[in-house]
Structure formats: structure tokens, C-alpha cells
């Protein structure tokens, strides 16, 4: 893979993160409660942090051993409820976040399989693992919420 191709992939990933930031900012403007707005602000900051991780990859590269194994609770995979755009309950926000991260994991995982080049495949695996961490974060919040009988 050329340096240009590597940077194009990272640019794509950064754009996806910027879309996620915009997604969470938009939800912040629609949220009704301060706690919801705070949680959405934290989600936005997580995505901003992911941009920094991607830029670190741009500078240092990526190795297979940099990819962490991430537990998958598979909560989002079992949720099929379609949420209305107006459903801004805490549970609804968590479901939206989980589904968004789930889709990112799927995208990067599929991309890792489509490129036979080991470096490109490793890069997409790393991006998928980072998104899986975000998904796990939201799945744990959701599990805690449901466990409390809400």
C-alpha cells in the first residue's frame, strides 16, 4: 500500500468520526434533559478522541499487535426496535449509539476482508477494534440501565 492510499483510508475514517461528532451534537440540541445532554457530550468527546487515535496511526503506522481484543456483548445485534427520530429517552439514545457503533464495526470489518494487502487489512481491523470499544461502552451502559429495572 502506498502512503497516499494509507492516508486516504485514514481520511475516510476521520470523516466517519466527524459524521459521528455531528450526529451526537445534533442529538444534544434535541435532548430535553441535562443528563442526556451530558452523556451525548461525552459521546461526542469519545469520537473526537478517536480522531486523535487515527492521527496517531497516520504518524506511527499500525501493527497487528496494536489491535486489542474487545468483548462483544451483542446487545445491539439483538435489538431490532426501530426508533423514531423523536425518541430521545436515555434508553433510546443508548440504542442509537450502539447501533451506530455496530454499523461502524461491520463496515471496517468488511473492509479488512476485502483488501488482501496485510497492511490495509490490519489498518481496518484496528479501526474496527476501536469502534468495538465504543460499542462495548454503550452496551455496558445499556445493560446497567436495564438491570436496574428501567
State the pLDDT at residue 55: 92
**CATH class belonging to 3-147:** mainly alpha
pLDDT in tens, the chain (150 residues): 788 988 999 999 999 999 999 988 988 888 888 888 998 899 899 899 999 999 998 899 888 998 999 999 999 998 876 666 656 788 888 888 899 999 999 999 999 999 878 888 999 999 999 999 999 999 999 999 888 876
| pLDDT confidence of residue 86 | 59
Domain coordinates in residue numbering, the chain: 3-147
* Spatial distance between the Cα atoms of 10 and 29, rounded to a whole number of angstroms: 29
pLDDT of residue 88: 74
User: According to the model, what pLDDT value does residue 92 have?
Assistant: 85
Cell triple for 31? 435532548
Query: What confidence score (pLDDT) does residue 61 get?
Result: 86
Q: CB within 8 A of 62, min separation 6: which ones? A: 119, 122, 123, 126
> What local confidence, expressed as pLDDT, does residue 106 receive?
96
Q: Which residue has the cell 461526542?
A: 44
Amino acid at each position: 500500500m502506498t502512503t497516499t492510499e494509507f492516508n486516504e483510508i485514514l481520511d475516510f475514517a476521520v470523516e466517519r468520526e466527524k459524521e459521528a461528532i455531528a450526529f451526537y451534537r445534533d442529538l444534544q440540541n434535541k435532548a430535553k434533559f441535562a443528563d442526556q445532554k451530558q452523556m451525548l457530550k461525552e459521546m461526542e468527546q469519545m469520537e473526537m478522541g478517536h480522531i486523535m487515535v487515527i492521527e496517531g496511526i497516520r504518524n506511527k503506522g499500525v501493527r497487528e499487535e496494536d489491535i486489542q481484543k474487545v468483548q462483544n456483548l451483542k446487545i445491539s445485534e439483538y435489538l431490532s426496535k426501530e426508533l423514531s427520530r423523536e425518541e430521545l429517552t436515555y434508553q433510546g439514545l443508548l440504542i442509537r449509539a450502539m447501533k451506530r457503533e455496530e454499523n461502524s464495526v461491520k463496515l471496517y470489518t468488511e473492509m479488512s476482508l476485502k483488501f488482501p494487502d496485510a497492511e490495509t487489512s490490519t489498518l481496518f481491523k484496528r479501526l474496527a477494534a476501536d469502534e468495538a470499544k465504543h460499542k462495548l461502552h454503550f452496551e455496558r451502559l445499556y445493560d446497567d440501565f436495564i438491570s436496574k429495572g428501567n
